[in-house]
Amino acid sequence: MKTQLFFDLTAEAGRPSVHFRETEEVETIMEELLKDDVAVFEVDGAAIQSREDLFRAFAIALRKPKGWYGDEEFAPNAEAFLEYLDDVHEWVPAKRHVVLVRGSEELWRTGARLAGMLTEWWQFATLDRKARIHLLFVW
């Protein structure tokens, strides 16, 4: 069953954005997203305790190519992180890109500042830059 979330994530028009949804709704549309050529990446929000954890988790989830940012394993700062978001479509071709942050309640409960920074960075990346990727906090 396609929900409004499915259409928000797959629509041609509109800007990628930040979404907050229940696990059940996300699971309902997951198969359809994959059929519609949406690249879905997953991050364990409950495991993020620091900026370093956040940068590492997203580098792994977004499948950052080795050597893409020099010898760094992951983005060492917010600017490099934003570059990942700008370029992920180059190394993972798909119609759309979505990052699911599972364990979002735990992230917001124990790392509200990190979750808030992530949300602000994402808004900046999708409004003022070329990033074309959705962020979906899954409760």
Q: How many CB atoms lie within 10 A of CB 50?
A: 10
Of residues 36 and 129, the one with the higher pLDDT is: 36
Please provide the average confidence, as pLDDT, over all residues in the chain: 88
Domains and CATH numbers, the chain: 16-138 (3.30.370.10)
- Read off the pLDDT of residues 21-50 as tens digits, 9 standing for 90 and up: 999 999 999 999 999 999 999 999 999 999
- Read off the pLDDT of residues 57-84 as tens digits, 9 standing for 90 and up: 998 999 887 776 666 777 778 888 888 8
The pLDDT, as a whole number, for residue 28 is: 94
- Read off the pLDDT of residues 79-103 as tens digits, 9 standing for 90 and up: 888 888 888 888 899 999 999 999 9
| 86 close to 121: Cβ distance less than 8 angstroms | no
- Whether 128 has a pLDDT exceeding 60, the answer reads yes
- Who contacts 17 (Cβ-Cβ below 8 Å, separation ≥6)? 8, 122, 123, 126, 134, 135
At 92, list the tokens.
């993972």
